[in-house]
Each structure stands twice: as structure tokens, then as C-alpha cells.
Copies of this chain bind each other. A is one copy, B any other.
Amino acid sequence: MGVGDVSKRILLGRKLRSSQLGETLLPKRIALPVFASDALSSVAYAPDEVFIMLSVAGASAYVWSWKIAIAVAVVMAAVIASYRQTVHAYPSGGGDYEVATVNLGARAGTTVASALLVDYMLTVAVSISSGANYASAAIPALRGHEALFAVALVLVLTAMNLRGIREAGTAFAIPTYAFMTAILIMIVVGFIRMVAGDLPDVESAKYTIEPTSGMSGSLGGIALVFLLARAFSSGSAALTGVEAISNGVPAFRRPKSKNAATTLALLAMIAITMMIGVIVLANEMGLRMVDPSQQHRLLLNGHPLSDAHTQNATIAQIAKSVFDGFSPGFYIVVTVTGIILVLAANTAFNGFPVLGSILARDGYAPRALGSRGDRLAYSNGILFLAVMAIVLIVAFDAQTTRLIQLYIVGVFVSFNLSQLGMIRHWTRVLKTERDPVVRRRMARSRVINTIGLTLTAVVLVVVLVTKFLAGAWITILAMIFFYYMMRRVRRHYDRVAAELAADADDAVMPTRVHAIVLVSKLHKPTLRALAFAQATRPNTLEAVTVSVDDKATARLLEEWDERHFPMPLKVLHSPYRELVRPVVDYASAIRKAYPRGVVAVYIPEYVVGRWWEQFLHNQTALRLKGRLLFTPGVMVTSVPYQLRSSELRARELNDQYWVAPGVRGRTNYRGQR
């Protein structure tokens, strides 16, 4: 439809030629915000989740928070060091999937892929939900409508990504840098005021936390370890997004691997600084935070708060107090944080479709995921991700604390298999490499990956144990589902390819053509079909009608006689008023009589242009064509007769390619050979 297409072009921008693909490559300064915003943005919710977990044992457990932050930072440093090896060894952007497939086999690769697919969906859901909560903190009118707002954000992101990566990248650079600057300034100002002994408390410092029953008093032994492990698991959300860069290497400018590795190092430094800075400041400023569904555990002068109370996020609370002499500071920090969370979701919108297209190329996903849309983006993958993220957001009502329980599992499964693959990789290449300088570098890489594997394996176990019942089981089920689907899709493609492979003797020409023209009325479409069928000079030409109403058939036969056609009109009786069945049976019978011939069925069709006109005509032709496709030895010819209204539609279909000015829409064709 014309209007639909115009709006598509307005939404997505003009079409891009395949040769314009190179233009969309990213320099480092753009790649950092595009791919690293996921990892950076987790500072907006990861500290909160650490404090919420610890609060189960009361505020006294907060002394552990900065130790947990350091533990997360250590794991992150190890993981990023490992991935710097990966981007050099595998610059093609297959990332963990490619590493696992090449070194550990197809099953490991498929496992990694299913883990990453699920984690991308969760990245969008978690980041957007957190972003919606920041937005509702700043705009009270949004309160209670966070899920709806989050869905709207996903839709906007989807549209932007369907436009293609380049515009998205440029648009994202400024707010990401603004976020980094704002948070780092906040941390620096906070530390200066701390050193000066001038650091104020945050707003929640006045509350006391009532521990969950059974957790009061000083904890010891297993209970404490489990609590710290859960807090660490939640804090590990900071680790996701690292693999996005290694999957996104092909989108970097050359030298791709080097640029990607540098970006990774930058990312690690910034993320760790922010994470530790925020947690230390929060502790110093007396932050108190509990699960949003248990706010009665926050006491003010011994009285519990009502559930209508809204806790502000850690960053928001710190910003409010640190910039207490400069109120725009608070608003700037909250705004840029909200924006960065949306951009974090965009990381998944970059990674997911690329992974989908790689899976499609390898036959593990429907081919439709592998085709680039008008704007060179993998449109189908983007749409699928959007739908799944919306489902998650709606199902969990955009509550970050609940979604975070599903998170991280996938990414750590992927980390582990990928590190294991890298170790195998280095072992294999070391077997043939003779240059001692190169060998030393490879051995060093293998050590780094081994450390990475050890740490990520521990984290995976911790995450699985602490989060399984709280939600991670959903993630695991989803991974198993995707794994099974991918294997099944691949089996299907393999079987079809084997069945379709051409042998030398496949091109046997049929000995005769038996043409059947279907007649329902003697109108122009029928006459045209008869004429076209005659023009192909078949060995036999018959006109056939299906009789569901004896009177109408008698009239038709009379008319037929009057016109003196050169062939008889055969009547197929259909006492069950079926139109499709008798034709299929008749065609099969002819084919049986002449097994080496082919039956050509000519179907007169008149073509209407407006969409609603379709409903006014019985769709028998369409059903008949669909059914005849299943009948061996038959070919089905539509002879269209275009009604005037269809010309309008045909013109609309042509105009689609002329909407964007300056684009040569027509295809040029030329003969070859």
C-alpha cells in the first residue's frame, strides 16, 4: 500500500544498496558507545541489586558490599583480558559461537548460540525495565505505567535499528560520553568531599533495615556464604555485554581486531572505576535499600514505610546528595543514566541479529534471519528480538529485581565454552607454530584464557546455585528449547538439501502435455485462459467444470454449445459441494493414465486491486493452487485477468521504489553470456 510504504520510508530512511555496506563500519570512538554501553550501563542497577541482596541480613551486611565489588571487578578484568585474545584470534565476529564451534564442535557452538540468544533478550528486558524505572523517578506521571513505557521504548529502539547501524551509532555516541562524564564527575566530586570531610548522607540514610525473619543477628557459616554469593551473582550483571564487542568485530573499522581489543580495555577500566566508585560512595553516605516489594522492612524511627514509597536508585541518591548545592546535577545524572540504559538495550539489537544471521548461514536458524532488509539491517532478527523482549517485560511487569534473577546464566555458559575453546585453540596452533616469539605470545594467551575459564566456571556455578529457583530455571528451559529448535532446523535443511541435489538423469522431458482449463463461468478470464492454453499447443486440451448446482451447470453447458468452442466441456460432479477435490482427483487420474506425461492445469483468475475486494471473492483459486502443488506430475498455471482496480494497485506497487528522492529505484538488467 502506498501510504504504508511512504511511512516505512519515513521511519527507516531511504533504501541502501548492498555496496553501501562498507559505509556503515564504526570507528573506535563510535564503537565504544555502541558496543560498551551494555556493560557500562549495569552500574545503573547492579549496585542496587547488591545492596538489596545484602539487606536481607540487615544494613550491617553492607560492609561486604565493596568486597563484592572488588570480586566482580577481578572477574571482569580476567574476562576482558580473555576476550582480548579472542578478538585477535577470531576477527570474523562469530565471537563465542565461532570459537566454540571451531574448537569444541557443533554441539558446543549451538549451546553457546542458544545461551547468547536468551541473554540478548534479557539484556533488552533488564536494561529497558531499569531505564523505565529511572524515567518514572524523574517523571512522576509515568509511575505505575513502567511496563507500558518500557514496551514503547523497545518499539522506538526497534524502529531505529531497522534504519540500520550507522545512524544509530552516531546518535548514541554523545549520550554515552555524557553518561561516562557525568558519573565520573559525580564520583570525583564525592571523593573530594569525602576527603574534605564534607560528604553528606543520602536520603535513605535515615532508615533502618529490618532483616528478613531468620536472618537477624550476626550471620555465620553457610548462610553468610550463600548471602554473599547471591549478592555477588546480582553484581555480576556488570559482566554482561563484554561479549558484544567480540561478536561485533566486523562492524569495527580496520584494523578490526586491534580496535576491538583497545575498546575492550577502555571498557574494563571505565566500568570497574564506576562500579567500585559508586559502591564505596553509597557505603560512605549511608545508603539503605531493600527489595521494592518488601518496603515495610525499611523503618523510619521504628515505623515501617508503606509499600507506596518509591526508593530512588543508588546513583540517583548519590547524585542528589553529592550535588546538593547544584540541583541540575541530579537531573543530569538521572537523565543520562536513563538514556544509557536504552542504549545498552541497543547493544543487544546490534548483537542478536548478527548472531541470527550467522546461525541462518550455518543452517541453524530460518533463512529469513539471514537476509538484510532495505536498510542493510537484519530486519527479521531485530523484530524477533523486539517481540521476545516485550514478552519478558510484560511477563515480569518491568521489574528489574525479578528480571535480574534470569540474567547472566546464558552469558556465563557462553563465557565458559568460549574460554575452553580458546584454550584448545592455542594448544592446537602451538602444535604447528615454530617461531619462539609467536609461541611465547600464544602460550601467554593460553594462560590468560585458562585463568578466565577458571574464574568464569566458578561464577557460573555460583550463579546457577544462587539463582536457579529464583528464575534461572526459566533461562535454562529457554536455552534447551532454542538448542533443540536449532538442531531440528539444521536437520530439516540437511534433509531438504540431500533430497534436492540434482543427479545427471533428473532432467527427463515429459513425453506429452495434457492441458486442463478450469471453467466456472464463461467470462473474459475464462476466454483468456482458454486462448493462452491453446497458444501453448498441448497434446490434449480439455475444458473442465465442477458441478455443485445442476441448474447452473446446465446453463453453462448451453452457453458452451452456443459459442462453438473447439473442445468439449467435461463436467465433474461434486455432491459434497467441494470444488478443489474433484479437480485434484481428475488431474491425478490423468497422470496415472500417462505416467510419463505432465498435466498442466490452467486456472482463470481475475485480479482485484483493493485489499477489501479480496474478501468479496471466494478464494477457491488460491486453495486449489495450494492443493495441486501436492499432486505429483502436475503444473499449475494462473492466467490472470486484471480488473481496472488492479491497475491502480500495480501502479502503487511500482511507486514503492520511487518514494525516496535521489535513489535510482529501477533494476537494471542485462544479459550475460
Which A residues are closer than 8 A to B by beta carbons? 15, 17-19, 366-368, 371-372, 374, 489, 492-493, 496, 499-503, 506-510, 512-513, 521-528, 530-532, 534-538, 548, 557, 561, 568-578, 581-582, 585-586, 598, 600, 602, 605-609, 613, 615-618, 625, 627-632, 634-644, 646, 649-650, 653, 657, 665-673
Contact = CB atoms under 8 A, between A and B. Distances in A.
Contacts of A534: 509
Given A366-B616, A499-B643, 10 more contacts: A492-B613, A499-B524, A499-B644, A500-B524, A500-B525, A507-B531, A571-B669, A573-B669, A582-B669, A636-B640
- Residue from the set A506, A531, A668 with the largest chain B CB neighbour count within 10 Å: A506
Contacts of A665: 576
A15 B578 CA distance: 11
A509 to B, nearest CB: 5
Contact of A492 (B17, B537, B616): B616
A287 B45 CA distance: 63
A573 B493 CA distance: 27
A129 to B, nearest CB: 29
Contacts of A574: 667
Contacts of A374: 576
Contacts of A569: 672-673
A575 B18 contact: yes
A590 to B, nearest CB: 11
B616 A489 contact: yes
A403 to B, nearest CB: 28
A367 B577 CA distance: 15
Interface on chain A toward B: helix, strand, loop, or mixed SS? mixed
Contacts of A653: 627, 630
Contact of A667 (B582, B602, B650): B582
Contact of A573 (B615, B628, B630, B670): B670
A535 B506 contact: no
Contacts of A581: 657, 667
A27 to B, nearest CB: 26
14 contacts: A371-B618, A499-B643, A499-B644, A503-B524, A513-B535, A537-B537, A557-B673, A568-B671, A573-B667, A629-B642, A631-B640, A631-B650, A635-B639, A637-B638
B638 A629 contact: yes
- Which of A371, A600, A629, A641 has the most chain B CB atoms closer than 10 A to its own CB? A629
A510 B531 contact: yes
A530 to B, nearest CB: 6
Task: Name which of A17, A522, A653 has the most chain B CB atoms within 10 A of its CB.
Answer: A653
A569 B672 CA distance: 7
Nearest to A16: B576
A293 B617 CA distance: 46
A502 B524 contact: yes
A523 B509 contact: no
Contact of A673 (B568, B602, B673): B568
A530 B513 contact: no
User: Which of A525, A639, A643 is the most central at the interface, judged by chain B CB atoms within 10 Å of its CB?
Assistant: A639
Contacts of A575: 17-19, 667
A293 to B, nearest CB: 26
A644 B632 CA distance: 11
A509 B639 CA distance: 13
A668 B636 contact: no
A643 B494 CA distance: 13
Given A577-B371, A616-B367, A667-B585, A630 B657 contact: no
A563 to B, nearest CB: 8
A577 B18 contact: yes
Given A585-B669, A635-B639, A510 B532 contact: yes
B531 A509 contact: yes
A219 B331 CA distance: 63
Contacts of A666: 585
A402 B325 CA distance: 58
B585 A368 contact: no
B635 A638 contact: yes
Nearest to A544: B669
Given A598-B532, A669-B582, A672-B569, A616 B576 contact: no
Nearest to A506: B527
3 cross-chain pairs, A with B, having the tightest CB-CB distances, nearest first: A572-B669, A500-B523, A630-B650
Contacts of A366: 615-616
A628 B637 CA distance: 12
Contacts of A606: 496, 500
A535 B509 contact: yes
A661 B531 CA distance: 44
Nearest to A526: B502
B17 A576 contact: yes
A506 B639 CA distance: 14
B535 A576 contact: no
B641 A500 contact: yes
A372 B577 contact: yes
Contacts of A605: 629
Contact of A536 (B513, B561, B585, B617): B513
A582 B670 CA distance: 11
A384 to B, nearest CB: 11
Contacts of A18: 548, 575-577
Contacts of A500: 521, 523-525, 606, 641, 643
A361 to B, nearest CB: 12
Contact of A572 (B530, B557, B634, B667): B667
Given A629-B607, A630-B646, A630-B650, A536 B600 contact: yes
B573 A668 contact: yes
A526 B502 CA distance: 9
B528 A506 contact: yes
A276 to B, nearest CB: 47
A437 B636 CA distance: 65
Contacts of A576: 15, 17-18, 374, 665, 667
